[in-house]
Structure 1
Amino acid sequence: MDSKKILEIREQLEEDLTWRKDEIRLLRNQLSYINLDDDKKRYRKALLVMLYSHYEGFCYTALQIYIKSINDESLKRKQANFHLATCSLSKEFDAYDNIDHKPQHYKAIFKKQLPEESKLHRFARQLGLVEKINEFWEESLFIPDEVVNTEANLWPIVLKKLLYRLGLPHDYFKEHEGNITMLVNRRNGISHGRDKEGFEEKTYNEIQQTVFQILDSIVRLIIETLTQKSYLITS
C-alpha cells in the first residue's frame, strides 16, 4: 500500500473521529448553562450514553475502514497474514461446521443411500477442505463486514476478540480495560434504571479522557499496521 493511499485512510479516520469528539464537546459545554449540581449529575448520564455510542461507533467504523483498505489491495490469500486469511474463509468454515452439509464427491459416491454416520460425514467435509486447500490460497482475499461484531456491548474482551481476529495486537488497550469496563457498566446501568443519580465531574472526566485516548490509539494502530505492512504474511 503506497503512502498516498495510507494518507487518504488517515484522513478518513480522522474526519470520522473529529466530528464525534466535536459533538461530545458541544454537548458537554452545555453543562455551563446548568446551575444545580444534581441537574449536572443527571445531565452527565446523557453525556455518558452518548460517549459510549461514539466509542462503539468509532471502533466499528475504524475497523471497517481497515478491512476495506485490505480488500482494496486485491491480495491473494497466500499474501495475507493467517488471521486475515482465516477471516476471508468464513463461508468455507461455516460449510464445514454444518453437520448437514454433504460435499458433492460424497453424494456422488453414496448417491441416494447416504449412510447416517456422523464420523463419515465429518471426514467427507474434512476431505473437501483438504482437496481445495491449494485453491483457497490462490483465491482473492476478501474479508466480510460481518467479521467486525461489537456484540452491542463493547467490553474489553470484545475489543480484544476483534483485534485478535483481524491480526492486530490483542492487548493494545490493556491499560484502559478498567475504564472501558466502567463505561459499559455505567451505560448499561443507565439503560436498566440502576444509575439514577448521575455522575460526579471527576468520574465522567476520567472516562471521557480514556475513551478519547482509545479512539486516538485506534487511528494510530491502523496507520502503523498499514505503513509497516503487518497485514501481509511474514516470510
Structure 2
Amino acid sequence: MKVDILRAEMEEDLAWRVDEIRFFQNTCASIASEAGQQRFRKALVVLLYANLEGFAKLVFSTYVSAVNAEAVACQDANLAIAAASLADVFRYLRDGNGRVPGYKKLQLPDDTQLQKFARDREFLSQALDLMQRPVAIPDKVTSTEANLGRDVLRKILYRLGLPHQDFEDIEPDLERLRLLRNNIAHGDAKQGIAKEDYEKLRDCTLRIMRELMLRVTHALASKQFLLEKAEA
C-alpha cells in the first residue's frame, strides 16, 4: 500500500474543492450591495456542505478501497471490518425465511426455530473458511446518508473500526454547518449570511476536511484495519 500516493490523490481533490469555493466567494464579492452578498452567501453555505460531504465520501472510499486491496483475511482484520465483510453471512443468519441447503433431505420437522438452529449449525461448519475469506468492505458502510453530521460520521467510523470519539473537537462545527445547510435547503433560513459568520463556517469546513484526510491517512499508515493494531 502506497499511502503517500493515496494522500496525494486526496490532497489533489481537496485543492480543486478549495479553488471552487474561492471562485464563488470572488463572485459574491463582486455583488454591489451587502444585502445581495448576504443572500449569495446562503448558496455558499450549501456549496461548503456539498464539498465537505463529497470530500468525506472520497476519503472514506479511498480507505475502503485501500483496505480491500490488501486482501487481509477476516480473521486478521479488526472486528468491525470483519463484520462488515461478512454482512451477507449475518444477513442470512438473521433471515427468518432463509433455508439451509438440503434441509428437506434431512427429513426434519418444518419448524422455524429448528431451521434457525440449522443455519447456526451451518455457520459453525463454515466458520473457519469464512474467517479466512479476504475482507471486502461494502460501499454502503461509508454512506453519508446525504446528511453528514455528528451521528453519521460516528456511524461510519465505528463501522470501519476507527476511533469514533476522535472527532469530538470538530463535531460541533460539523453539526452547525449541517443544520444551517438543511435550513437553507428547506427554505427556513430566509435571512442572508453575514460575512463574518460565513468565514467562520468556511474555515471550520476546510479544517474538518483536512482533519478527515489526516486521520484516515494515519489509519492507513498505522494499519488500524488489522486486529492486532486495533487492540494495541
TM-score by length of 1: 0.92
Rate the CA distance shift 1:202–1:139 in 2: closer, same or farther, 3 A: same
Aligned in 2, Cα 1:108/1:200: closer, same or farther, shift over 3 Å? farther
Residues 1:198 and 1:125: Cα distance change in structure 2 (over 3 Å):
farther
Deviations 1:42-77 (A, max 9, x none): 101110111111111111111001110111112211
Counterpart CA distance in 1 for 2:199 and 2:112 is 57
- 1:153 alignment counterpart: 147
Matches within 5 A, 1:185-224: 185-224=179-218
Shift of 1:197: 1.5
The sequence identity of aligned pairs, in percent, is: 33
Count of residue pairs the alignment pairs up: 229
Q: Does 1:89 align with 2:86?
A: yes
| Inter-partner Cα distance in structure 2 for 1:177 and 1:88 | 28
Alignment of 1:24-173 (within 5 A): 24-110=21-107, 115=110, 117-173=111-167
* CA distance in 2 between partners of 1:177 and 1:229 (Å): 25
Cα deviations across residues 199-219 of structure 1 (Å, max 9, x unaligned)?
112221222111111111111
CA distance in 1, matches of 2:119, 2:27: 60
Distance 1:110 1:138 in 2: 32
Amino acid in structure 2 at the alignment position of 1:223? T
2:174 to 150, 174, 180: 180
Unaligned runs of 5+ in 2: none
Matches of 2:82 and 2:133, distance apart in 1? 10
For the residues of structure 1 that align with 2:115 and 2:147, how far apart are their CA atoms? 37
In structure 2, C-alpha distance between the alignment counterparts of 1:101 and 1:196, rounded to whole Å? 52
From the superposition, tell whether residues 206 and 107 of structure 1 become closer, same or farther in structure 2 (CA, over 3 Å).
Answer: farther
Secondary structure of the residue aligned to 1:225 is helix
CA RMSD of aligned residues (A): 1.6
Report deviation, 1:40: 1.0
Report runs of 4+ in structure 1 exceeding 6 Å deviation.
none
**Deviation string, structure 1 residues 178-212 (Cα, Å, up to 9, x no partner):** 22112111111112110121211222122211111
Q: Name 2:19's counterpart in structure 1.
A: 22
Alpha-carbon distance in structure 2 between the residues aligned to 1:35 and 1:55: 29
Matches of 2:105 and 2:200 in 1, distance apart? 64
Letter in 1 for 2:94: D
Q: Secondary structure at the match of 2:11?
A: helix
Structure 1, unpaired ranges of 5+: none
The C-alpha deviation readout for 1:147-187, integer Å capped at 9, x for no partner, is 11111111211001000100111012212222211211111
